Chains A and B, each alone.
Chain A
């Protein structure tokens, strides 16, 4: 009898508690979310820009054909596309466009809008810039056979094509507006996203309002959002602390996180994730003595990445130790393999001894002096610069640090007017086509600033890009990595970044992903009452 009573009690309790608990997590509609953005957007055109400063305030106004599922990165789901099929030879991708998606001016979105948008991205006419055009080299043409079908025809099969279509930069634009003026979207907003455009005061703030006709019923939860531009880190962190902004989508360094947690306690929630961004050292392979592979090997052997990670992760956003692919992603080298590469061994003493030996062999004198150029941004560039110089000091190299303003920095990097330089790379997804392009010969890769040519790397890259078997692809990637980081050491990684987002706990419905370019349309975000 008692058992029965107990179980009845439990069932009653469960019936009371569980709904209550769930109610606590039921999204509530309403409220305006204010968040901070560190820089102002140069233009509003997603196809053209490469900076988060455009994406964060502008993305909520637009939809893309496919998107990354924010809860299940790297899974891809449809957004404007309801479903898709891939032909057997993997040369044709057919997308079914959802019906009933409206632009903010009331007009319906059709396949034609998608086709014209992608024509602009992949085949931009003269005078129109498309920042990622080169990644779509495999596309032969884009067709819209009827109002709700779009077909992409490829020249060769590509492992990464689907992910390219899910790129957060590929806002779907209205064909009629593009027909009138291909550059209209640089200064104007007209999309199909969860929020409509209200106002932008340059340098100050950007305001968006809920789109009542959004195709996902019941979304967005928020009534609107406001992005405030705060350039310096200190006032940006202070704004979160004072509650004037509730979240910032790039992230802060650990000290700010600790401060916020300490002062605001459980009002703050911290989400952390490895970030698909890294710092590298670019070496000018054309300048003596860096044309000697022994010197280059010495440079990477001198750096104790494991110890560096331990300490730098306390003061800056650098943490994960990894090779060419982000540690923790499906393409990353397992630690056992990683530590075999030059500079990634755990025994730093042995590495540094080897470095000294190599330098001596190459005829580099003790106290040899050269320069390391860098951007004059304190976090994390200057921190890395100081760390790297410190490590090189330990093998008897006397390096001068030269932080420069953005303009001269890029000019020197591209023009080869440097000896060594800090370089960086950020991508929106773990995709070897993106991460590896930097290391391919300079004729094939405009973002290879280290000025070398290596046909072996070119071949490996092509092969992995067209590999259809994942295991085969991984093998090729490992070979590529070994050649770059261990055998030739043309340029090398220092550390990857860690994304740390402390935000007010009342901001719900936003999950962190490894890229600050993803999950920015804010459609699932809601605010819990204070």
Chain B
């Protein structure tokens, strides 16, 4: 029997529908086209990072002195750098470093910050005051200043740079999540949990934290862009990731600038990569904020 007949008879007709998450994505994309663009950029970057071994045409660390400063060609799509290494491959592997450092530092920083902020709000009183004061102290350092001091203490290298970027993120997240947590602390939801005698840890982790998801997600995406830029700046100053690791900020350092006239592709492509990725994260983060928190809607 035809569908229409079935429908007329009143039998429920099952249309093939998209799974729930796909529908959410489509709705998001149609309402926030710029955010969709951002999401696509992020996706491309993530793919490049994960599939680097497959996508990259050459070994990013293989120097070949005979092929220094090659302009973009069929063999080297984006040209070669000062040691004869393929720039495209280094860019692709560089996304891995960028995402690793960026994601780890913003995720860890935001999570730690959220825990601290929520706990601070929950405990209130003197504990809250103390934690707030300490966060104030950390906040009065500009981002890069604190990162520089941490690098001075710990040394350079990928792990230390990640730590150096994570630490300034923590108080910024703590501040925002604390504000949200304060709002829900007095709700019956939480007082009921207290009345039922749940442990503090349980209340914080299972009842309060999930409710600050919205600002948390927004902060993570906002920080990701910042983290990538900060890593690039630190590497540019010589205090970040070390040669011969492929990393975008590192590729802009030194050789790129001095040889920029003879080989402009060395300076242009890594800069574009950084800009594009931070751009993507910002676009996406903006639209995410619009979608998740109507109060903060920019219109």
Contact = CB atoms under 8 A, between A and B. Distances in A.
A and B are interacting partners = yes
Nearest to A412: B155
A403 B237 CA distance: 12
A382 B65 contact: no
Given A386-B244, A405-B156, A407-B152, 17 more contacts: A255-B258, A259-B261, A315-B82, A376-B238, A376-B239, A377-B238, A378-B254, A382-B243, A382-B254, A385-B243, A386-B243, A389-B244, A390-B83, A403-B156, A403-B243, A404-B155, A405-B152
12 contacts: A234-B257, A234-B260, A315-B82, A378-B254, A379-B254, A401-B243, A402-B156, A402-B157, A402-B242, A403-B243, A405-B155, A405-B238
Given A255-B262, A402-B157, A390 B242 contact: no
Contacts of B258: 233-234, 237, 253, 255-256, 379
A404 B156 CA distance: 6
A315 B243 contact: no
A311 interface: yes
Interface of B: 63, 65-66, 68, 82-83, 151-152, 155-157, 238-239, 242-244, 253-255, 257-262
B63 to A, nearest CB: 5
B262 A259 contact: yes
A314 B63 CA distance: 14
Contact of A401 (B65, B155, B242): B242
Nearest to B153: A408
Interface residues of A, number: 30
B253 A314 contact: no
Contacts of A378: 238, 253-255
Interface string A372-416: 000011110010011101100000000001111101100000000
Interface of A: 233-234, 237, 253, 255-256, 258-259, 307, 310-311, 314-315, 376-379, 382, 385-387, 389-390, 401-405, 407-408
A264 B118 CA distance: 63
Query: Which of B157, B242, B258, B261 neighbours the largest number of chain A CB atoms within 10 Å of its CB?
Result: B258
A376 B239 CA distance: 7
Nearest to B254: A378
Nearest to A310: B65
A502 to B, nearest CB: 13
Contacts of B152: 405, 407
A255 B151 CA distance: 31
A376 B253 CA distance: 11
A508 to B, nearest CB: 27
B239 A405 contact: yes
Contacts of A376: 156, 238-239, 242
Nearest to B244: A386
Contact of B155 (A233, A253, A377, A408): A408
A314 B83 CA distance: 10
Contacts of B242: 376, 401-403
B255 A315 contact: yes
B244 A311 contact: no
A71 B268 CA distance: 44
Contacts of B259: 255, 315
A386 B83 contact: yes
Nearest to A374: B242
A71 to B, nearest CB: 32
A311 B68 contact: yes
A311 B64 CA distance: 10
A1 B65 CA distance: 66
A390 B253 contact: no
A233 to B, nearest CB: 6
Nearest to A232: B257
Contacts of B156: 376, 402-405
Contacts of A307: 65
Nearest to A234: B257
A390 B243 contact: no
A476 to B, nearest CB: 37
A243 to B, nearest CB: 17
Contacts of B257: 233-234
A45 B46 CA distance: 56
- Interface centre among A256, A379, A386, by most chain B C-beta atoms within 10 angstroms, is A386
Nearest to A307: B65
B90 to A, nearest CB: 13
Nearest to B256: A234
Most B CB contacts (10 A, CB to CB) among A233, A255, A407, A408 go to A255
* A-B CB proximity, top 3 nearest: A311-B65, A378-B254, A376-B238
A230 to B, nearest CB: 13
A15 to B, nearest CB: 47
A401 B244 contact: yes
Contacts of B63: 386-387, 390
Contacts of A256: 258
Contacts of A390: 63, 83
Contacts of B261: 259
A310 B257 CA distance: 23
A256 B254 CA distance: 12
A403 B160 CA distance: 13
A314 B156 CA distance: 29
Contacts of A258: 262
Of the listed residues B68, B255, B260, the one surrounded by the most CB atoms of chain A closer than 10 A to its CB is B255
A403 B239 CA distance: 9
Nearest to A378: B254
Nearest to A408: B155
A376 B156 CA distance: 9
A404 to B, nearest CB: 6
A407 B244 CA distance: 22
